[in-house]
Structure 1
Amino acid sequence: MPEAEVLYSDVKFKKPTDKAIGTASPSEETTYAEVKIVKSPQPSSELPGSQAASHGRPGVTSERVAVVVLSVLLVIAAAALGYTTYQNMKTTERLVRQKAEYEALKKNCTEKKVEVKPCFPQPQPTCPGSGSCWKCKDGWEQHGEKCYFFSTKKSTWNEREDECRQHGGGDLVKIDSTEEQTFLDMRLRDVMADAEDKFWIGLTDSKEEGTWLWADGSPLNSSLVFWSNGEPDNWDGDNADGEDCVRMGEKGGAVEHKSWFDKYCEIPHRYICEKPAETGEMKCT
């Protein structure tokens, strides 16, 4: 129910002339009357949305900002996806190329009938005389009048006889010349995986310290030695008895092919077996 507002107003009434008496009222009388007026709600002078309009329509502006932000994010996502796709394509191409190179290497080694890792190409046989040539069995590499086996398995120096016998005989290599040392030193550069991936040779002073003997019992020629700088040092860090066996090899190449190091004999290393080459009737080119 609407609220009533009470207003007070002056209402003047004139007394009528008393005709019977024939006299008039000397003055007018004032009577206060209470007038009730219903106050109706005042309609708003502002239309709906007029406030939003007066401030630049913030709802519409927010929607535009959201669209712009979303567009930027989509562009960034598309760029990231494109870059990732490009990198994946390059990686796939590299893997395909490496696989092709590996298959070519494997095929080459298979045709030469040597171990796949490492691959030792078989040199042309040397002909000591007309119609007769040096040759080696499969898995052995021929150089001059000798055959060499470069192992892929590691073992101790004292296991060398059994290991060489399993691969066709012989014993750890005995180096008899500068030419032979040069050949072996350069071959090991190709097959060593790292600086410590050295190979046992058949030299030891286990019977008497400082007296170096080859595996066949012959003494080391003191004019034909290839010790690396500071070797032999008989270091006792691995064992109190010191170092009585010799390994060789320098991954980056040794100065003047001096690549011999004494080492504790029970440390596993790869090894080089050696045996005389066989002669046979072969056509030499």
Structure 2
Amino acid sequence: MKNVRNSRTAPSGDDSELTYSELNFAAASQNSTIHTSAEPETTYAQIAVRSQSAQPNAGSEVAPGKDQRQQETAGGTNSKKSRCLGLVALLIIISLFAIIIGLTVYVLQLTQDFSEAKKEQRTLRERGDWLNASLANSVRNLTEMSGRFQNISETLSQSRQKAISLCATLRNMSDSLCPSGWKLHNHSCYRFSIATENWDTAKRECESLNSHLLIINTDQEQNFVIQSMPEKNQQYLIGLTDREREGNWEWVDGTPVSQSDSHWLNNQPDNANNEDCGTFSKEYRGRTFGFNDVRCNRVFHFICEKPAPSGIGAADFEKYCP
């Protein structure tokens, strides 16, 4: 005899159900006598599992319900959102990758620029060190040159003192070439008389001193005579005459002098009162020196001239002496 003692259904998490059934079976004796003794009955348990999802209704396969359509619509919307999110994520990744590449290139450029800047700084430092060394060397050379220049300056000063002393000695030697009372100029000795004589007497006195009355050949010689004259307002007889032939003036050595010579004073010679001898003087009430004709018997100071003895002449050293 079968006896259903208990059955229960346990709900699952999804649409399927789990059904538990407990069945009790009693064994009958041969005479089908029901024992009421205390013999235990044999109990069998059977578990049946039924899943509603595994066995859907036929009607649901043919026409899906409203819930299923909502689920499909929600699934399509979710798929589109997923694709959009994927594209956004891809764009973000590409942007990040591009930013990373840009930053990497920028960092590399900065590194290169920094390296070049360091190299240029090192070059500038080396060049600065070289310039400093050159400057120090130039300063050292300048100091040495300054010392040498000072030594040269001192040497030149000493040489100048020696030159002055030598020139003084040479002047004394040149003056000694002429007799006492005579002045040396350009290898000639000149004597300015203290006494006064007429032209003939003055000529003879100069000849007695192995000289002759003054003969002026150059402007330089005339300037020397002007500077050496003891009395600038006096007339001095010189070796100039026209006794041999009137109007033909000549020196005592026979050298002719024309009346148009620039050394004559203004309006001279004028041959007033038979004037046949020449003097050297300053123009009356003027500053010009030159020749003038006078009578030969008049007495004046006179100038004698003769060659200086061979030796050192003043012209040889005066241009080199201070």
Give the structure-2-normalised TM-score: 0.40
Q: Which has the larger radius of gyration?
A: 2
Bigger relative contact order (CA 8 A; separation at least 6): 1
Give the structure-1-normalised TM-score: 0.45
